[in-house]
Chain A
Amino acid sequence: MSTPVIIAIVIGIILVLMYNSLVSKKNQVENIFASIDTQLKKRYDLIPNLVASVGKYMEHEKSILQEVTKLRAEANKPNISDENKIHLDAKVTSALGSIMVAVENYPELKANTNVMHLQHSLNEVEEQISAARRAYNQAVTDYNNAIEMIPTNFMASAMSYTRKEVFEIPDTQRENVNVKELFNS
C-alpha cells in the first residue's frame, strides 16, 4: 500500500473517532437531561398538593406560594427550551426552599402527616435532581471542552455544535444542606 493511501486511512480513522466522540458526548448530555426532566416533572407534580396543604396556614407566605404555582404553570407549557427549564429549575428550587423554611414557623404544619409525607417525597426528588444536575454538569463540561479544544473544535464547528449551559447548583446544595436537613435542624 502506498504512503498517501496509508495517511488517508489514518486521517479517516481519526476523523471518524473525533466525530463519534462528539456525538457520544452530545448524546450523553441529552440522555442525562432527559433524566433531569423526569425528576423535574415529578417535583412539579408535587407542587399543587404542597400548596393546597400549606396554603390554609401560611398567610404571610401567600406570594411565594403564588410564585411557585406560576412557575409550575410556566414549566408545564409545551415546547419549552432546555435553557428555560434550567432557569425555571433554579427559581423553583429557591421558592420551594423558602416554603420549607417557612413551614418551621407553623407547629400545626410540622405535625401534619400529609405535609410530612410531602416533605419526604420532595426531599427525595430534590436529592435525585441534585444528583442528576451534577451528572448533567459534568457531561456538559466534557461536551463543552470537546467543542472548544483542538482538534475536535474544527469538527464541532463543522457539525454546528454549540456550547451548552450548565445548571447552577445552589451553594446550599454544594454544602449538602438540603430541604430535609433544614427541617430537622
Chain B
Amino acid sequence: MKSVSELTDFYYKKLHPTLKDLEQDRKKVKKRVITIGVIYTLIAALLFFSLFEYMNIEFIIFSLVGYVALGGIVYRFLISDYRNHFKEKVIRPLIEEIDNSFRYIPDLHVASEYFNRSFLFPSPDRYSGNDLVKGKIDGVDLTFSDVHAEKEHRDSKGRRSYSTIFKGLFIISDFHKNFNGKTVVLPDTAQSTFGDLVGSFLQANNFSRSGDLVKMDSPEFEKEFVVYGSDQIEARYILTHTLMEKILHYRKHSGHPVYVSFRGRNIYMAIEYNKDLFEPSIFNSLLDYKIAMEYIKTLHLSIGIVEELKLNQKLWSKHG
C-alpha cells in the first residue's frame, strides 16, 4: 500500500491542475455563499424584528431553528456542484491511487444491517452516511463509509428530536475464521471518567451490554479499552497479546475513539470523528497542507486497517 508521503506527493503533484481549477471554483462558491448568507440573514432579521411584538418565546425558538435549518439547506444547495466535483476529482483519484481495485461510490454507505450486526451500538432510529469504499487489499475484503446513526426522542408534546449514537467511519473487514460468539472492544469511558474503583464496578455491572466483562491481561490495553464477550476463552483466542498491541497502536494513530467487534466472519471497526469525513470545506483552501493531510490520513488509516491488523497473514488460521 502507498505510504502517506507518497499519497501527499500524488495529491500535490498529479492532482495539481485539478486542484488549481477547483480552488478557483471554491473561491467563487465561497463568495456566493457569503453574499447569499448576508442577504438571507438580513431578510430574516428584518422579518424577525417586524414581527417581534407578536411573538412568544416558543415562536422565537421555532424561528431560530427554522433559520438554521433553511440556511443549511440553502448552503448545501449552493455547494453541491463544488462538493460533487471535489469528490470525483480529488477523493476518487486518491482512493484509486491507494489501490485501483477499490470502488468508490460517494452517495452510498455501509448498510444499516452491518451496523446493527456489529453490536457496537444500539440500533439507530435514523441512519445515514456517504462515501462508500469497497475493495480488496492483499486478498482481504474491506468496506468502509461515513456513517451517522441517531436515536429518536419524543418530548411530552410529541415533538421529535434526534441525538447522535455514532458519527464517523465504519469499517468492515473479512477474516479467515468463523467465530461462534461475539466479542466487543469499546473505549474505556467508565474507568477514565470515574477512576479505577467505581469504573471497574460500572464495567462489571453494565446492564446495557449483552455478554460478560472480559478482563484482559494487558494493563495498557485495559486502560484504554473494555471488552465484553459471550465466551471468555474465545475473546482471548481473538485478542492475543499481538492483536491487543495492534489495536492500541491503531487507536494511537487515529487519535479518535475506536470501537472494535468480532462476529461471524467479520471484524467491525468504528472510529468516532463526530463529523462528516471527506467533505470539502469552502472556507479552507484545497492547497492548505493540513486540510489535504486530513483527507489522506483518514483514507490511509481506514484502508491501512488490514495492514495494521495483518489480516492478510491469516492471523487466525483458516481451519478449525
Chain A: residues with CB nearer than 8 A to chain B? 32, 35, 120-121, 123-124, 127-128, 130-132, 134-135, 137-139, 142, 174-176, 180
Contact = CB atoms under 8 A, between A and B. Distances in A.
18 contacts: A32-B232, A121-B320, A123-B317, A124-B317, A124-B320, A127-B237, A128-B233, A130-B240, A131-B233, A131-B234, A134-B217, A135-B233, A135-B235, A135-B236, A138-B215, A139-B232, A176-B241, A176-B242
A47 to B, nearest CB: 18
A174 B218 CA distance: 10
A55 B320 CA distance: 26
Contacts of A139: 232
A135 B232 contact: yes
A131 B242 CA distance: 13
Main secondary structure of the interface of A (DSSP, over half): helix
Contacts, number: 42
Nearest to B229: A135
B50 to A, nearest CB: 67
Contacts of A138: 215, 217, 232
B241 A175 contact: yes
B253 interface: no
Contact of A137 (B217, B242, B319): B217
A130 B217 CA distance: 12
Given A174-B241, A175-B241, A176-B241, A134 B236 contact: yes
Contacts of A32: 232-233
B6 to A, nearest CB: 29
Contacts of B233: 32, 35, 128, 131-132, 135
Interface in B235-249: 235-237, 240-242
B308 to A, nearest CB: 16
Interface string B21-54: 0000000000000000000000000000000000
Nearest to A174: B241
A174 B241 CA distance: 7
Question: Which of B232, B233, B236, B240 gathers the greatest number of chain A CB atoms within 10 Å?
Answer: B233
Interface in B199-248: 215, 217, 232-237, 240-242
Interface of B: 215, 217, 232-237, 240-242, 317, 319-320
A139 B242 CA distance: 22
Contacts of B215: 138, 142
Contacts of A35: 233
B317 A120 contact: yes
Nearest to A141: B215
A128 B235 CA distance: 11
Contacts of A175: 241
A142 B204 CA distance: 12
Nearest to A138: B215
Contacts of B319: 120, 124
Contact of B237 (A128, A142, A180): A128
B61 to A, nearest CB: 49
B241 A131 contact: no
Given A135-B236, A137-B217, A175-B241, 9 more contacts: A124-B320, A127-B317, A128-B237, A131-B237, A131-B240, A132-B233, A132-B236, A135-B232, A176-B240
Contacts of B237: 127-128, 131
Nearest to B244: A176
B319 to A, nearest CB: 7
Contacts of A176: 240-242
Nearest to B212: A28
A62 to B, nearest CB: 30
A59 to B, nearest CB: 31
A124 B177 CA distance: 12
B311 to A, nearest CB: 16
Contacts of B235: 135
